Chains A and B, each alone.
Chain A
Amino acid sequence: MFSDFKSDGFMFLLILAVIVFVCAQALFFMSKAWKRGKELGITTDKLKNAVTSSAIFSFAPAVGIAVTVITLSVALGYVLPWIRLTVIGAIQYETTAAIAALESAGLSGGISAEVTDPQMFTEIAWVMTLGSILPLVLIPIILKKIQKGVSDVASKNSKWMDVMTGAAFIGLIAAFIGKGLAGVGSKSEPIIGDGAGVLSLAALVSSIGFMLIFTLLNKKLKKNWIDALAMPLSMVLAMVVVILINQFVPEIAAIEWRY
């Protein structure tokens, strides 16, 4: 399993260094924000709630990311996709970048062809890294200016800014909702459930439904844990609904109006 060069001891040392670096950075910012939160008078309950809710919420998507690592491991071994999906990478980006890198290295089998040449492997690592690095160059230069501009506008007209921020969030969510309602699936790989259809609609409707139930429940019971768990639970329950539909009525689950 770990005998080939792509998953040797050195590669494992690299991923270990990446994990330590990423967690250290997150802990650094969390401790600074926590301290500032206390100074601002935010209750410990609210701060803890933010941690608990995010931690539970992150579990299922993280498993999804780990599954992507496995998908890419056929060609690239375990460690390089693992590194790439731990830093900067996103599921949609890494798979595309890996395919582009494999093709530029002369492999036409896409992510199902194993890379056996260390030079090719190194070139792929460079392509995947350089392709995603631009935001890290831009952010130190422009972020402060962007945020200053936003905060100047916010201080001049806070009601308008509130409406605009809400609208930006809604536009973002609307893009995904629209995709689930009317987005076309992949033409090159006929995957069940990647185009808008019964499964995407079931995922959307059931997660909305569960979230509304939790919101109503919280209004009645007024418990902090409901706030923290509402979103992760709605998500997981909606995933269960998708699994059940697919298991018990596969012919209905396979219906896609945009395939």
Chain B
Amino acid sequence: MNKTYYDKVHSWGRIWCVASLLFFLSIPLAIGLHFGVTPRADVVGKGIASIAFFFATGIVEVVAYSPLLGAGGTYLSFVTGNIMNLKMPCALNAMENAKVKANTEEGEVITTIAISASIIVTTLVIAIFVILFAINPSFSETMRSDTFAPAFQQVTYTIFGSLAATYFVKHWKISIFPIAAITLILVFAGNLAIGVLIPVGVVLSMLGAHVMYKMKLV
């Protein structure tokens, strides 16, 4: 039987994923061997226990983001992280520009290319800037100064503002309800983490859109 492109992506993705898993686990192992120390299980266990909620977030992220990122995009994104602030906006922007839809083979190709390009550039930019910061501490102080720090503090909003301009204009009918609902929720529970707000926003938005679809409003 001929393998489809999707089948191939899943085969490659699984191999890379397992290789990544083993490679990433070998890093702390190698650090321990290099320094000749054995980590204390109770200290590691206590540390993991206090961030156990990240496991729940991890499960939600896989289920919620993978249909939007595409197969190749998901394998790549979860290996490199920074999904919400980098990979997802890249994928959305690239699909809009190429005028292709998520969950089509064209969408799959475009998101994979966009996310790959983002990974390479991000990895290299981080490397260059960390080296620059390390060599010249005054440069890092400038970037963290009162002049530039507020801009980096707001970078997420500039990303999602740009995306909103495209998506909300195109789908304004189904946009009003989720924005109003999320803002209202935040008025009463303002310190809800973004990791909670995203699944809530997605579910509310899909419910609202489903009702409007059934009422033939969209």
What's the least CB distance linking A242 to chain B, in Å?
A: 5
Give the dominant DSSP class at A's interface.
Answer: helix
Could you tell me if A176 and B194 are in contact, using CB atoms closer than 8 angstroms? Answer: yes
- Cβ of A61 under 8 Å from chain B: yes
Could you tell me if A134 and B117 are in contact, using CB atoms closer than 8 angstroms? Answer: no
- Cβ of A154 under 8 Å from chain B: yes
- Asked if A70 meets B81 with Cβ closer than 8 Å, knowing A55-B117, A177-B160, A234-B162, the reply is no
Q: Which residues, 151 to 177 on A, are CB-close (under 8 Å) to B? A: 151, 154, 160-177
In the bound complex, residues from chain B placing their C-beta under 8 Å from that of A168 are 64, 67-68, 202, 205-206
Could you tell me if B179 and A178 are in contact, using CB atoms closer than 8 angstroms? Answer: yes
Looking at chain A, what size class is its interface with the partner chain? 35 or more
Could you tell me if A139 and B110 are in contact, using CB atoms closer than 8 angstroms? Answer: no
Query: Closest residue to B133 on the A side, CB-wise?
Result: A70
Could you tell me if B20 and A243 are in contact, using CB atoms closer than 8 angstroms? Answer: no
Give the dominant DSSP class at B's interface.
Answer: helix
- Asked if A53 meets B93 with Cβ closer than 8 Å, knowing A174-B178, A199-B150, the reply is yes
The tally of residues in B whose CB lies under 8 Å from a CB in A reads 156
Could you tell me if A146 and B67 are in contact, using CB atoms closer than 8 angstroms? Answer: yes
**Set A93, A166, A205, A253: member contacting B174, Cβ < 8 A:** A166
What's the least CB distance linking B67 to chain A, in Å?
A: 5
Could you tell me if B150 and A192 are in contact, using CB atoms closer than 8 angstroms? Answer: yes
What's the least CB distance linking B137 to chain A, in Å?
A: 8
Could you tell me if B43 and A105 are in contact, using CB atoms closer than 8 angstroms? Answer: yes
Could you tell me if B112 and A182 are in contact, using CB atoms closer than 8 angstroms? Answer: no
Query: Closest residue to B154 on the A side, CB-wise?
Result: A203
- Report how far A198 CA is from B129 CA in the complex, Å: 29
Could you tell me if A104 and B46 are in contact, using CB atoms closer than 8 angstroms? Answer: yes
In the bound complex, residues from chain A placing their C-beta under 8 Å from that of B182 are 174-175, 177-179
In the bound complex, residues from chain A placing their C-beta under 8 Å from that of B140 are 67, 70
Could you tell me if A121 and B47 are in contact, using CB atoms closer than 8 angstroms? Answer: no
Q: B77-121 vs A: 1/0 string, CB under 8 Å? A: 011111111101110111001101111011011101111111111
**Set A70, A129, A187, A208: member contacting B164, Cβ < 8 A:** A208
Q: Which of A146, A160, A183, A195 has most chain B Cβ within 10 Å? A: A183
Q: Which residues, 163 to 218 on B, are CB-close (under 8 Å) to A? A: 163-171, 174-175, 178-179, 181-183, 185-187, 190-192, 194-195, 197-198, 200-206, 208-210, 212-213, 218
Q: Which residues, 185 to 210 on A, are CB-close (under 8 Å) to B? A: 187, 191-196, 199-200, 202-210
- Report how far A119 CA is from B175 CA in the complex, Å: 51
Could you tell me if A26 and B76 are in contact, using CB atoms closer than 8 angstroms? Answer: yes
**Set A57, A106, A120: member contacting B89, Cβ < 8 A:** A57
Could you tell me if A91 and B85 are in contact, using CB atoms closer than 8 angstroms? Answer: yes
Query: Closest residue to A64 on the B side, CB-wise?
Result: B152
Could you tell me if B62 and A50 are in contact, using CB atoms closer than 8 angstroms? Answer: no
Q: Which residues, 122 to 147 on A, are CB-close (under 8 Å) to B? A: 122-127, 129-140, 142-144, 146-147
Q: Which of B47, B115, B118, B200 has most chain A Cβ within 10 Å? A: B47
In the bound complex, residues from chain B placing their C-beta under 8 Å from that of A212 are 165, 169
Could you tell me if A37 and B21 are in contact, using CB atoms closer than 8 angstroms? Answer: no
**Set A135, A164, A206: member contacting B161, Cβ < 8 A:** A206
